[in-house]
A and B are shown apart, each in its own frame.
Chain A
Amino acid sequence: MHVQTAQTVAPLDQALVDSLDAYIREHQEEAGNLIPVLQYAQSAFGYLPEDVLKHISEALQISYSEVTGVVTFYSFFSTVPRGKHIVRVCLGTACYVRGGKEVLRAFRETLGIDVGGTTEDREFSLEVGRCFGACGLAPVVMVGDDVHQRVKPSGVKDILAQYEGVNA
């Protein structure tokens, strides 16, 4: 069963709420404005806190269930705070055939989280990507903006060690 729900981990920054409201006002009348508003909110808050989702539901007059339906449909929306470092494992064709899947498994096991999840210490979030345009160097993993090439499952611990405790 699903464990994902939304939460609000810290009081919302009022300046960010105001900027979201300004954005919503600007796009109030547009059809299909829910996804852009959610994207704006996610980039402002870093994730989609429960209170923000409810706020958006009220402001756009879209039911809360529809808002969360859209949020849970698209993998790029996150309702939990993201880790300091976003690990993205490429599963594009080249990376996939050259062991990307095993690399992903190693990350999952080492971090103890699933794709879309975040470690409890909020150091790392794990995502998958579809081709970073570095197929010659497959399998490729990005951590933040850094590209790691020809990653082997056995090298996963070393990669993570470079970031653990370091501010992004």
Chain B
Amino acid sequence: MLNVTINDKDVSVETGATILEAARSAGVQIPTLCNLEHLSPLGACRVCVVEVEGAKALMAACATPVRDGMVIHTNSPRARTARKTVVDLLLSEHEGNCQYCDRSLDCELRVLSFDLGIQEPMYVGAKPGGQADFSTPALVRDGEKCVKCRRCVTVCNEVQQVGALFPQYRGYETVIGPAFAMNLDDVACVQCGQCAAVCPVGAITERSHMEGVWKALADPDLHVIVQTAPAVRAALGECFGMEPGRLVTGQMVTALRELGFDGIFDTNFTADLTIMEEGTELLTRLKGALAPDDPQLPPPALPMFTSCSPGWIKFAEYYFPDMLGHLSTCKSPQQMFGAIAKTYYAEKVGVDPAKMVVVSVMPCTAKKFEAARSELADSGFQDVDFVLTTRELGRMIQAGGVDFASLPDGTMDSPLGYSSGAADIFANTGGVMEAALRTAYELVTGRELPVDNLHVAPVAGLEGVKEAEIQITAPLPDWAFLDGVTVRVAVAHGLGNAAAVMRAVRSGERTYHFVEVMTCPGGCIGGGGQPRFTTDAVRLARINAIYREDEGKPHRKSHENPDVLELYASFLGQPLGEKSHHLLHTNYEARARV
């Protein structure tokens, strides 16, 4: 332990801690810009400078480890002046109009400027400018607002290992962007939106679908229905100042009703449906590998990887084109919902699917890209018409004059609104795996998954790659070939972790039967469309809220959802049956990286 003094307070910290960490542990806030938790400090922006007694130069708190006996002043006149100068310079190059900006309510630059008491431009000169990039379906980049903090570069390269963004050119000419400052669709961006999630300003954000949704809602000829992803209910409250981890499912439903949707449904419903399809697909693959009906046939690819996360799918299409056969053919719950809504539900309510508009509310930007994939239109109509992020829904509720906090709880509509707890946990890293195991284990053995409270503890939590083994004993006669088999599973979140698992599988270093991948750190609860700013503390609060939602449900296994069973009985037939195959499954295409 080291002892230091921060603003006259005595503080003990672990050896190796930075000044920033020491200050935070003592409740002293130091503003930061380029710094991101758990990632190597860049020390680039110098917003975090502090004065250390005895040192000539000011120190970047995020990048300076404390030494024993250090006397630190975070708010001395010198530190404040320097910080102000740094922010003044950033503002002098920043081309923005807060009143028109997507970030006017949560912009870190605006807050910095306000907190430092900057009231007028100190430096006036040429601004480097920058272009707007509308090239992709999910994201909009506005180079004029970029303050070159490089957070997006760190996330895109280190966490996602995509490397779509990198500083181009040098000095005053530097542009943070894709190769040669071209557009995002000129490089292998997977549309995950993690760059937008960490950007402190309005330089990267989602492509808005709000206008389209408002128009559809106002059109009396259209039947406009909405589905909400599991992760939204654990984060939407943050748009209204509630603490992270507040569950607002019921209020969300009421708010959607007030906005005028004709049906309020749940992506959870099709998450349960996904488990039925994906679980059956897994068991079919296991059978093909371990006890094939026809040993002449090539064995199916194992491990099978989940396919709910569209950023992950695009990543695999770019980086692992040789392994696309390992991806489950199941469409994601969002797309299954659209396909079922425009067939089964349309028939049931007697609405022409041509006049039906399916809106999704997602924690994700890549879902906008996914909804636009031309092959996802098996009903004859695009499965999903508009995708709102959690943030966009928050803004629509606000704009709709709805006082969210005072809303009573509502319930989702039938027949696509009821879900089991297994569907809720799709929001968390490890959740799809847990949900699949709850169902597959029981299908195979006739017994409940023998873990505490149905939670598969080894695959929960924020560890990057998690593994678990499940021993199958005394299966039902149909599954006799699984007797004594140890099923090995893995869970990865963040694409860098997913890539590590893929490489280990490809080389044979690791063998699994089933792997869950979620694109975003923490899973969907940490998606690129969630309220900013998502730290690990926020991730954990949302994760725990989702587990609470699961535990409170009357049904906690997908195969017990009565409405899903009814859907099979009256429409689909059986999992992996002909109709399912047509409506609920898809295929993937290799993509050129550059």
In the complex, which residues of chain A have a beta carbon less than 8 angstroms from the beta carbon of B129? 1
**A54 and B594 within 8 A (CB):** yes
Of A2, A58, A63, the residue contacting B187 (CB under 8 A) is A63
Q: Is A11 an interface residue (CB 8 A)?
A: no
Which residues does chain B contribute within 8 Å of A54, judged by CB atoms? 594
Cβ contact within 8 Å between B163 and A62: yes
Is B157 in the interface zone, CB < 8 Å from A? yes
Knowing A58-B594, A62-B163, A65-B164 touch, does A72 contact B187 (C-beta < 8 A)? Answer: no
Measured between beta carbons, the chain B residues less than 8 angstroms from A62 are 163
Specify which of A58, A72, A73 lies most central, judged by the most chain B CB atoms within 10 Å of its CB: A72
Q: Which of B162, B170, B173 contacts A63 (CB 8 A)?
A: B162
Q: Which residues of A contact B175 (CB under 8 A)?
A: 2
Inside 8 A of B157's CB, which chain A residues have their CB?
A: 63, 66
Give the complex CA separation of A57 and B178 in angstroms: 14
Interface 1/0 per residue, B117-136 and A, CB below 8 Å: 00000000000010100000
A66 and B169 form a contact (CB under 8 A)? no
Does A69 interact with chain B (Cβ within 8 Å)?
Answer: yes
Q: Mark B81-122, 1 if CB is under 8 A from A, else 0.
A: 000000000000000000000000000000000000000000
Of chain A, the residue at the smallest CB distance from B181 is: A2
Closest to A2 in B: B181
Task: Give Cα A58–Cα B167 distance, bound, in whole angstroms.
Answer: 19
Which of these, A2, A57, A64, contacts B169 with CB under 8 Å? Answer: A2
Whether B180 pairs with A5 at a CB distance below 8 angstroms is: yes
A67 to B163, CA, bound (A): 10
Q: A58-B594, A62-B163, A63-B157 are in contact. Are A68 and B170 (CB under 8 A)?
A: no
Smallest beta-carbon distance B167→chain A, Å: 5
Contact B180 A63 (CB under 8 A): no
Question: In the complex the two chains form, is A1's CB within 8 Å of B168's CB?
Answer: no
Residues from chain A with a CB closer than 8 A to the CB of B168 are 2, 65, 68-69, 72
The answer to whether A68 and B179 touch (CB under 8 A), given A63-B162, A63-B163, is yes
Docked CA distance A42–B163 (Å): 23
For the complex, give the distance between the alpha carbons of A73 and B180 in Å.
11
How many Å lie between the Cα of A62 and that of B593 in the bound state?
11
A19 within 8 A of B: no
Contact B187 A64, beta carbon cutoff 8 Å: yes
Q: Is the interface of A mostly helix, strand, loop or mixed?
A: helix
Distance between Cα atoms of A1 and B188 in the complex (Å)? 23
CA distance A5 to B168 in the complex (A): 11
Residue pair B167, A69 in contact (C-beta under 8 Å):
yes
Chain B positions within 8 Å of A4 at CB level:
180
By a CB distance below 8 angstroms, the chain A residues around B261 are: none
Asked, given contacts A64-B187, A64-B188, whether A69 binds B166 with beta carbons under 8 Å apart, the answer is yes
Q: Chain A 38-68 against B: per-residue CB contact (8 Å), 1 yes, 0 no?
A: 0000000000000000100110001111111
The residue on A at minimum CB distance from B171 is A73
- Asked if B457 CB lies within 8 Å of chain A CBs, one says no
**Contact residues on B (Cβ < 8 Å of other chain), bracket:** 20 to 34
Instruction: Tell me, yes or no, whether A6 is within 8 Å of chain B by CB.
Output: yes
Q: How far is the CB of A8 from chain B (nearest CB, A)?
A: 13
Task: Find out whether the CB atom of B169 lies under 8 angstroms from the CB atom of A65.
Answer: no
Please name all residues of chain B whose beta carbon is closer than 8 Å to the beta carbon of A57 when the two chains form the complex.
Answer: 593-594
Chain B nearest CB from A55 CB (Å) reads 9
Judge whether A64 and B594 touch: CB under 8 Å: yes
Name B179's contact: one of A1, A58, A67, A73 (CB within 8 Å): A67
Task: State whether A65 touches B173 (Cβ < 8 A).
Answer: no
Instruction: Please tell me if the beta carbons of A64 and B167 are within 8 angstroms of each other in the complex.
Output: no
- Collect the chain B residues with CB atoms within 8 Å of residue A68's CB: 166, 168, 179-180
Would you give the 0/1 interface string for B135-168, flagging 1 where the beta carbon is closer than 8 Å to chain A? Answer: 0000000000000000000000100001111111
B48 CB to closest chain A CB (Å) equals 25
Q: Does B468 contact A (CB under 8 A)?
A: no
Alpha-carbon distance A68/B131, docked complex (angstroms): 18
- Residues in B neighbouring A73, C-beta threshold 8 A: 167, 169-170
Bound Cα distance A63, B157 (Å): 9
Distance of A162 Cα from B48 Cα, bound (Å)? 57
Interface centre among A2, A5, A64 (most CB of B within 10 A): A64
User: If A54-B594, A69-B167 touch, does A64 touch B179 (CB 8 Å cutoff)?
Assistant: yes
Q: Contact partner of A66 among B166, B173, B180, CB < 8 A?
A: B166
Residues of A near B242 (CB, < 8 A) are: none
A63 close to B131 (CB less than 8 A):
no
- Asked if B182 lies at the interface with its beta carbon under 8 angstroms from chain A, I say yes
Q: Which single residue of chain A is at the shortest CB-CB distance from B162?
A: A63
Instruction: Please measure, in the bound complex, the distance between the C-alpha atom of A65 and the C-alpha atom of B173, giving whole angstroms.
Output: 16
Q: Are A2 and B188 in contact (CB under 8 A)?
A: no
Contact at B594–A66, with CB atoms within 8 Å? Answer: no
Is there an interface contact between B170 and A72, defined as CB atoms closer than 8 Å? yes
Interface centre among B166, B167, B173, B187 (most CB of A within 10 A): B166
Query: What CA separation (Å) do A32 and B284 show in the bound complex?
Result: 46
Nearest CB of chain B from residue A23's CB, rounded to whole Å: 20
Roughly how many angstroms separate A4 CA and B179 CA in the complex, as a whole number?
Answer: 11
- CB neighbours (8 Å) of B131 from chain A are 1
* Residues of B314-359 contacting chain A, CB below 8 A: none
A79, closest chain B residue (CB):
B180
Considering the chains assembled together, what is the distance between the CA atoms of A133 and B163 in angstroms?
Answer: 41
CA distance A57 to B177 in the complex (A): 17
Q: Are B179 and A65 in contact (CB under 8 A)?
A: yes
Task: Give the complex CA separation of A58 and B319 in angstroms.
Answer: 10
B593 close to A65 (CB less than 8 A):
no
Q: How far is the CA of A146 from the CA of B414 in the complex (A)?
A: 84
* Residues in chain B within 8 A of chain A (CB atoms): 129, 131, 157, 162-170, 173, 175, 177-182, 187-188, 593-594
17 contacts between A and B (CB under 8 A): A1-B131, A1-B181, A2-B173, A4-B180, A54-B594, A57-B593, A63-B187, A64-B163, A64-B188, A65-B164, A65-B166, A65-B179, A66-B157, A66-B166, A69-B166, A69-B167, A69-B168
